Structure 1
Amino acid sequence: MTVASGDTPDGDGTTHHHKTVEISPGQPIPSVDLVVHQDAKKGWNLEVKVTNFSFAPESVNTADKPGEGHAHLNVNGKKIARLYGNWYYLENLPPGKNIITVSLNANNHESLVNNGKLIQDTEIIEVPARSFHKY
């Protein structure tokens, strides 16, 4: 992997301001697919499907190792959580359009990129406005 730095645009229009790690030629390219499942009672279950990538919580804050790390969960451009596995329960979102992005990150938190493009996936969750009835 090679390290680059600079501002990298995110899929939601915001800008990343930390280093990135470019996948080296010949290395398997990780991918991420975010699948949103509405919970039967409340909220959403986020399924993070990855290929050529392993979650390695035991290696967080250590040197980069190809094909392992963690993910960052962003909601509406704000980092919500660090993910160490394939599932996350998201309980509340504000009414309206919500942009949910999961990006893959190296053990030292640098964003993984391939050909200069962040390895991430974005889904939009529309939350209806709550209607209140007066009796």
Structure 2
Amino acid sequence: MRFMIIVKATADSEAGKMPSRELLTEMGKYNEQLINAGVLLAGEGLHPSARGARVKFEGSKRTVVDGPFAETKELIAGFWLIQVKSKEEAIEWVRRCPNPFECDSEIEIRQVFEMEDFGDAATPELCAQEERMRAQLAQA
């Protein structure tokens, strides 16, 4: 099972405040633990929303809105993508994580859809296409 571990933004992260050397060191150790356990697939921090954009979809119309975005509690400051056996195991990994901002913060855990989750809508052709794309990504 794959899980996206979503680090929620804070006022400091949105202001562009960089983490301390100590926090970077602790995060590096944590990431090494994830790698050594064979569960880390990807993980990155994100720049503040002021440097981002959103694309709003209304029918066939697309509207681009530049950041910053107001609702800090709804923004993402970073993520990990991990592969573990259960939600409980994902929770245990997150419980070991250093506090990402050295202040009150929140991390959300969300399971990633797999093709089998889509039932009959996941035709053999779509499943084969998914496998081809994953193989291409693995080679990149």
Q: Above 0.5 in TM-score? A: no
More strand by percentage: 1
Bigger Rg, which one:
2
TM-score, length-normalised on structure 1? 0.28
More helix by percentage: 2
